[in-house]
Amino acid sequence: MRACFIQNFDVSPAIVEVEKSTPKSGEVAVEIHACGLNFADLLLLSGRYQDTPALPFIPGLELAGIIREVGADVNGLAIGDRVAVFSGQGGLAEAGVFPAERVTRIPDDMSFADAAAFQITYGTGLLALDHCARLQPGETLLVTGAAGGVGLTAVEIGKRLGARVIAHARGAEKLAVAKAAGADHLIDANEDLRQAVKDLGGADVVYEAIGGEVWKAAFRATNPGGRLLPIGFAGGDVPLIPANHLLVKNLSVIGFYFAGYLKSHPAVVRGAIGRLLGWYSDGSLRPHISHKLPLEQVDVGLDLLRSRKATGKVVIMIQPEA
């Protein structure tokens, strides 16, 4: 089978022929149709991700396809099932073998592209905002990087949970994408973020994906008793958090990492994904995919993330869409 294979860090991935694997007990083999790219893939390729596997490996954290083989001791899954998989690795290939516990059946009306773009961003958004930060109807949610993969889904979910949503992104095109997802107020990255948010009454919950100066400005615009979620550091600068300011304003900073939660709270994650798939089926959620590319253009897709030229998700189509 063809696969995107990483033999050394900081080197462009190569598409090579590798042997298929056979599922062992508790595993299933999946014919992969689509793989969603994430900012974490860039960290994987440089060896800087917290869950970077040992070399060599096939990247690709989330995928969708069809089960072709089922190992022993697997219940509730069958050959022919259409599924999404939070794989952690192995998604950028024509096939792969994955633990059954990482596999979720998808609705019949859900495309493989949508399924491959779904679990990480929407799962992070719902669990972080609802389960961790306890976002309440009528509260104000600030989302930074609001046109990116995790940011855009946070805008959608925040609105679904009844919040007033402030979206922060760079440029009119990206802000328009956030507005279409339901944002009530828009702030361009060239504006003074702290002042603009304070002019709107401050933020009760902050969903922050950039880091650096953006985090500092959002932190200072958070209302007393507010909750801040450091979701990522796309700007490259991991900020320090002044504990004395937490004390004075009674703020809470809540870390959330989807893969870690899957290990520590698997039932909570499964419940959230089931809830999200229900929202997809009733038409409430639709992943925004700005680019669909073939496997041979993985480098192009990664560069779109690196340069922040994508909005929503970039999906690699392993198999042509029907």
Domain parsing of the chain, residue ranges: 2-118+287-317, 120-259
Query: Is pLDDT above 80 for 207?
Result: yes
Predicted confidence (pLDDT) per residue in 140-171, tens digit = 999 999 999 999 999 999 999 999 999 999 99
Arch. (CATH architecture) of 2-118+287-317: Alpha-Beta Complex (3.90)
pLDDT by residue (tens digit) across 165-200?
Answer: 999 999 999 999 999 999 999 999 999 999 999 999
pLDDT in tens, 275-293: 999 999 999 899 999 999 9
**Assessment of whether the complete model's pTM goes beyond 0.85:** yes
Q: Give the list of residues 6+ apart from residue 41 with CB closer than 8 angstroms, or none.
A: 59, 60, 61, 302, 305
- The single-letter code of the amino acid at 42 is L
Would you give the DSSP letter of residue 263?
H
- Residues 120-259: name the CATH superfamily: NAD(P)-binding Rossmann-like Domain (3.40.50.720)
Instruction: Quote the CA–CA distance of 193 and 146 in Å, as a whole number.
Output: 13
Sequence-ordered alpha helix ranges (H) in 47-171: 112-116, 119-126, 149-160
